[in-house]
Structure 1
């Protein structure tokens, strides 16, 4: 350790920022040089699940309290608590810890509680903290929101497995974030909310999940009202709610939608200005769209439930350049960088057999450049769709196998013997 110990103190602190807090504290045993270095680290990242298996005699709450007492960093930039057992943490103790973090001008705060059907109260001192940039909550209950509350700097918010006193509490709480740009919501069946109203003028990215265990009857009085005129990215995966309405839908929106029970035509009608769409969505018996997708250039469709949309999308998307057909729909990353790809939950509904359009869509003759078909099975219906695209789209065909040995078909616009192909995924 001699060479490392000779490094400047500020560089040692940067190194310690890269390892878990319990290991940071353990470096104090290395030598006299290290006894005080850990106290300068502006970060507490505590996971009590891993702490329980760590060789220490102190209780988890004692460890956190001692760290906050001894740490002398001018600013506590990061304060992450990942807690599994509320019996170890009294509400007043949690409030005390958050008070210390607020007093130390914390910038990035996680308060994650994983114990099912139990909640920790939202710390009231946070309502006075105007410089917080990132806030992630899980297993937290929010009962009352003070009338004079404003997180003036917060741009990233994650709400997972929350409980609110009523619908109005959600709306009031979200109104406290005037510069919020990224919002992740993971709902659960006991969140005590019917209409999840998201009115955030500054919001640029919104991700919502509402997944229920086993079979649940849909609740048509549950859903969303979204008013976010600056929104650029939208991801919704909901197997439970009955409606989703938009106010002030922005142009050039990228939207990824997987819904089981909502009014699909009304939903798509409100997304007519989207630039990119991914759909896993049951159409009504005779799906119809009133307007065109004038801005749509990229479309992904789930062939398990949404192939009925294919002709409609092609007919109403004069500028479409990229089409992707798949048995699962990709939904990008959440705030923690975790990839999402959900299997179709709508595949048991009865689809009509695909029929060749009576006239060739404009985009197929002019703008469509690439078509990808992931997990192509070669069924009669799939073969008919593929044949139609090849006959009418001036496209050439490439075939290959993925790592899991199913066929990937890629069609690219022909020209000089070359084929344009998008990156392929297994």
Structure 2
């Protein structure tokens, strides 16, 4: 048998070549879809493959840019993003995400001013692409002034602004009450902004389709929030000295996290649809909180059926409101995060005396080193509660130590313990 010609392909080689066709033969939408899964820097580098690939990367509908991949070389990152946005032009862009954590110290004022100017030009470039989603996370840019055009982009459906130095939303071009005009915006997240009455009124009136609003580390200088469509409101570690009255007939979920010394005070004036409330309090927050009782009184006149407590200050918070605690007639589900077997269980049982229609109780058990004296105290807790409709006690734990003691206390203090279902799960 003669040896095969070295210039002739074997059948096996031909089969392999037919199994893996040249990517360039694929339709353009497929190639763009593949590029969208690549790192932006790598996607741009495909332009050297051939003439057909030269402009394909400019059609990627979603950009996620972060300078963390440039290993502290801010100059290289700035050059890359500036060039990328320049060559893309006004090609349609569905989603744009920018995370810029300047590596140089903020004391370098001249460099900061340069970064701010560049970041502002990037925002204008992106707005020309009529994006649906914009997410900006900008660190160490204390002189940044958000361009007013960002709050006048008609195409936006989601906007996330996470700043790390306090800023105002201003309309310097035409001062007046109309600060915002985002007719299609449905989800808005704001961080480190100073929000006064005209600005908040402008946000809620200028976003008529807004359904979800999250305020994070903001300074609240407004006294009321009004929206007909907003269904989810989250307020995290915000400060303010005014009582904020909420008029939101479609509000379903309220997420409240307090960790600041100047705790905001909420008053629910028109929230007939509110059914789920999450409350987080730290020890520090509770020591400065003066409106807890008024807030919880508001919850008794709305159809809240799911209430969740979390945070290190929950036990202290309950001690504040228990003496004059209202009755939660509508409450069906109650949850507590990180509650140890020997941590003020009497306060928890006192609260259960105010939830006559409770059906499910969830506790995230926290392991706490318990002295013999503390164990004896837990074993003697006698505060019977009447939750005749309680069906399930769910216990989530990372360490099983003390879990059964906790359940024993519950069963001992309820008259229908035999009818209860106890569910265990690891958290």
**Whole-Å separation in 2 of the counterparts to 1:207 and 1:18:** 31
| CA distances 1:296-320 after superposition (whole Å, capped 9, x unpaired) | 2211124367745533443333332
Shift of the 268–2 alpha-carbon distance from structure 1 to 2, 3 Å rule, reads same
Shift of the 180–199 alpha-carbon distance from structure 1 to 2, 3 Å rule, reads same
Tell me the equivalent position of 2:241.
Answer: 221
The counterpart of 1:267, out of the listed 279, 282, 295, is 295
**Whole-Å separation in 2 of the counterparts to 1:311 and 1:253:** 23
Q: Which has the higher strand share?
A: 1
**Whole-Å separation in 2 of the counterparts to 1:210 and 1:99:** 30
Q: Which has the higher helix share?
A: 2
1:115 is aligned to 2:140 = yes
The counterpart of 1:18, out of the listed 37, 49, 57, is 37
Tell me the equivalent position of 2:23.
Answer: 4
Q: Please tell me whether Structure 1 or Structure 2 has the larger radius of gyration of its CA atoms.
A: 2
1:169 is aligned to 2:207 = no
Shift of the 125–366 alpha-carbon distance from structure 1 to 2, 3 Å rule, reads closer
**Whole-Å separation in 1 of the counterparts to 2:410 and 2:41:** 57
CA shift, 1:25, in A, is 0.8
The counterpart of 2:211, out of the listed 181, 190, 194, is 181
Specify the SS of the correspondent of 1:287: helix
Shift of the 101–11 alpha-carbon distance from structure 1 to 2, 3 Å rule, reads same
**Whole-Å separation in 1 of the counterparts to 2:400 and 2:304:** 27
* Contact 1:264–1:283 (CA under 8 A) maintained in structure 2: no
Tell me the equivalent position of 2:267.
Answer: 245
Tell me the equivalent position of 1:310.
Answer: 348
CA shift, 1:135, in A, is 0.6
TM-score normalised according to structure 1 size = 0.73
* Contact 2:319–2:347 (CA under 8 A) maintained in structure 1: no
**Whole-Å separation in 2 of the counterparts to 1:235 and 1:394:** 35
Tell me the equivalent position of 2:47.
Answer: 28
* Contact 2:195–2:222 (CA under 8 A) maintained in structure 1: no
Shift of the 2–129 alpha-carbon distance from structure 1 to 2, 3 Å rule, reads same
* Contact 2:346–2:381 (CA under 8 A) maintained in structure 1: no
* Contact 2:411–2:417 (CA under 8 A) maintained in structure 1: no
| CA distances 1:185-215 after superposition (whole Å, capped 9, x unpaired) | 210xxx554557543332111222218xxxx
* Contact 2:58–2:91 (CA under 8 A) maintained in structure 1: no
* Contact 2:220–2:240 (CA under 8 A) maintained in structure 1: no
The counterpart of 1:144, out of the listed 170, 176, 180, is 170
1:235 is aligned to 2:255 = yes
CA shift, 1:72, in A, is 5.7
Tell me the equivalent position of 1:59.
Answer: 76
**Whole-Å separation in 2 of the counterparts to 1:204 and 1:119:** 34
Q: Where does the alignment leave 5 or more consecutive residues of structure 1 unmatched?
A: 212-218, 329-351, 397-410, 413-420
**Whole-Å separation in 1 of the counterparts to 2:114 and 2:97:** 15
CA shift, 1:390, in A, is 6.5
1:294 is aligned to 2:305 = no
TM-score normalised according to structure 2 size = 0.73
Q: How does 1:318-329 map to 2 (within 5 A)?
A: 318-327=356-365
* Contact 1:155–1:181 (CA under 8 A) maintained in structure 2: yes
CA shift, 1:226, in A, is 3.3
Tell me the equivalent position of 1:343.
Answer: none
* Contact 1:42–1:73 (CA under 8 A) maintained in structure 2: no
Tell me the equivalent position of 2:383.
Answer: 357
**Whole-Å separation in 2 of the counterparts to 1:163 and 1:236:** 18
* Contact 1:252–1:295 (CA under 8 A) maintained in structure 2: no
RMSD: 3.5
Shift of the 174–220 alpha-carbon distance from structure 1 to 2, 3 Å rule, reads closer
